[in-house]
Amino acid sequence: MLNLSLEQVMQYAKDYKAVPVAKECLADMLTPLAFLDNVRRSSRNYFLLESIEGGEHWARYSFVGYDPVLRLKITDGNAEIISGAAVKYQEKNPLGCIRHILEEYKAPQIDGLPNFTGGLVGTFGFDFMRYCEPDMRVNKERKAEFADVDLMLFDKLIAFDHLKQKIFLIVNVKTDNAAINYAKAEREIAAMEEMLLQPVQPKKSVKAKLGEFTSNQSREQYNKNVLRCKKYIKNGDAFQIVYAQKFSATYDQSLFSAYRYLRTTNPSQYMVFLHNDDMEIAGSSPETLVKVVGKKVISMPIAGTRRRGRTSEEDLVLEQELLADAKEIAEHNMLVDLGRNDVGRVCDFGSVKVSDYKTIKRFSHVMHITSKVTGQLSADKDALDALRAVFPAGTLSGAPKIRACEIIDELEPERRGIYGGGMGYLDFGGNMDICITIRTMVKKNDRVYIQAGGGIVADSVLDNEFQETVNKAGACMTALRMTAEEE
C-alpha cells in the first residue's frame, strides 16, 4: 500500500506539478551496495549517495537512483537534454534550463518521507565558474574533456533508512494526468520491489589491470608554476592560489570495487558512486560546498588538518596542536570570511551567522578545523542562486576568488573538469546538497583520473607542495591498487 491515495495526490495538483508517493519495506536483510550491484546488471545510468555523519557514524539515509528520465549536459554555454537515445533539444540559456527542468517537477515535502525524494543528481565542473562570473578572464579556446554541468533527472529512487531499518520505494507522480500517472507509479514501485527482492548474486572479484600513474605535468613544471603563483601573490594579485595536477592511468574495470575499498578505508561525509553513458565517478569528499534546506543556506568551510592519533590521548594532543597553529587558524579565518561574503550575496541582510566556530571534525585518517556559515535565502533567490554565489569553493581556488581562478586557468595545463567543482543533488522541493569534488576518481574511456592540489601562499615551501598533492591523491590511488591485487 502506498503512503498517499490517488485522491490525496490530486489535492496537491493545484500547487504542485509532481507528488512523491512511496511504499515502505523492511531493510534488515539488504544493503545499498548489494541493491546497487543488482541495478548495475540492467542499467547504465545510476547513482549511490551515502554519508558518514560527524566523521565517524553512518548517516541515517542512503539513496540509490537508476534509469533517469533525462540527462542534462552543459558545455561551453550550450545545454543539451538527452532523453532516451536522442538529444531532445539544445538550449542557449543553460542555467535557465536547470530551473525549467526542476519547475516541471515541483513537488511538496511529504511527512514521513526522507529529505530527498527525487531531483537532479550529478556534477558541476570547476568551469561552472564561467557561468557564475561571466566577466572572468579565461581562455575560451581550451577544449573541455568533461561537461561543465552533467546532471541526470531521477523521478524515482530508493531510500535506505538505516535508523529504522526500512526502505522507501519512491516515485514522483506528475499531477497533469494524475490518475494515469498514479497507476504508472504503482507499476513502477512493484517493479522496484521485484528488483529489491532479487537474490544477491555474489561474483568472484576480477583482478583489475592498473597502469602506472603519470601526471599532466612534470615535477619541474609543477615547481615552476608554484613559483609563478608565489610571484603573483608577492605582486598583490592574490593571497592564496590553489594549484593542482592531474594523475591518470589505464584501468580496465568498473570503479565499483574501488569504491567499495574507498568507503571502508577513507569514509567521509559525502560518499558518491555515479555511472552514466560516458563516465564513472567514485568519490569520498569530506567537505560541503553548499546546502539549501527550505530557505536556509548552509556552508561549511574546512581548513586546517592533522592526522588522527594512534591513541585517544595522542588524538587530543594533535587536536590542541592544530588549534594552536597560527598559520592554520589564519587560513581557516580567511575561508570563513570568504564563506560569509559568498553566502551574504544571496541572503537577507543581517541573517548571516557563523556557528560551531573552529570545531574539530574527525575522519578515519585525519581531523579538520570546521565552521558553519548560515543565512536566510532572500525571497527572490533560489538554490541555484546560492550555488552560483559560493562557486567554486575558496578551498579549491584561493582568494580573492575571481583572480585566483584566472591564474589557475592561465597556469594549469588543462581545464580541471569535475575536480574542484561540486557534486550532489538539487531536489524537486527547492532543496540542495552539494559537496566539493575532491578525493574523487573519474573513469572515462578505459582511463582513470585523480586530481589534487595545494594552497600556495607567500611562504609556501617549494619542495613540499608537489608531495602534498601526491599525498592527497593517495587514498584513491590505494583503493585502485587494492582492486589490482584481488585474487
Residue 424 included in any domain: yes
- What is the C-alpha separation between 365 and 431, in angstroms, rounded? 31
DSSP annotation of 395 reads G
Residue 311 included in any domain: no
Residue 259 included in any domain: yes
CB 145 within 8 A of CB 419: no
DSSP annotation of 347 reads B
Residue 310 included in any domain: no
Q: Which three cell numbers stand for residue 259?
A: 569504491
Q: How many DSSP H helices and E strands does the chain contain? A: 13, 26
Strand partners, 455: 242
Q: What angle do CA 148, 149, 154 make, to 5 degrees?
A: 165
AA letter at 271 = M
Give the strand pairing for 46-50 and 52-53: unpaired
Q: How far apart are the two ends of the chain, measured CA to CA in Å?
A: 45
pLDDT 10s digit of each residue in the chain, 487 long?
889 999 999 999 989 999 999 999 988 778 899 899 989 988 999 999 998 765 556 678 999 999 999 999 999 888 888 886 556 656 667 788 899 999 999 999 999 999 999 999 999 999 999 999 888 888 878 888 899 999 999 999 999 998 888 999 999 999 999 999 999 999 999 999 998 888 776 666 778 899 999 999 999 999 999 999 999 999 999 999 999 999 999 999 999 999 999 998 888 889 999 999 999 999 999 899 999 999 999 999 888 888 888 999 999 999 999 999 888 898 889 889 999 999 999 999 999 999 999 999 887 677 889 999 999 999 999 999 999 999 999 999 998 999 999 999 999 999 999 999 999 999 999 999 999 999 999 999 999 999 999 989 888 888 788 888 988 898 899 999 999 875 4
Residue 261 included in any domain: yes
In the chain, the number of structural domains is 1
Residue 353 included in any domain: no
Cell match 523492511: residue? 26
CATH number for the domain that contains residue 189: 3.60.120.10
- What is the C-alpha separation between 344 and 472, in angstroms, rounded? 31
CA atoms within 13 A on the CB side of 342: 30
Expressed as residue numbers, the domain containing 126 is 6-295+377-483
Residue 116 included in any domain: yes
Residue 339 included in any domain: no
Residue range 285-316, pLDDT digits in tens: 989 999 999 999 999 988 888 888 899 999 99
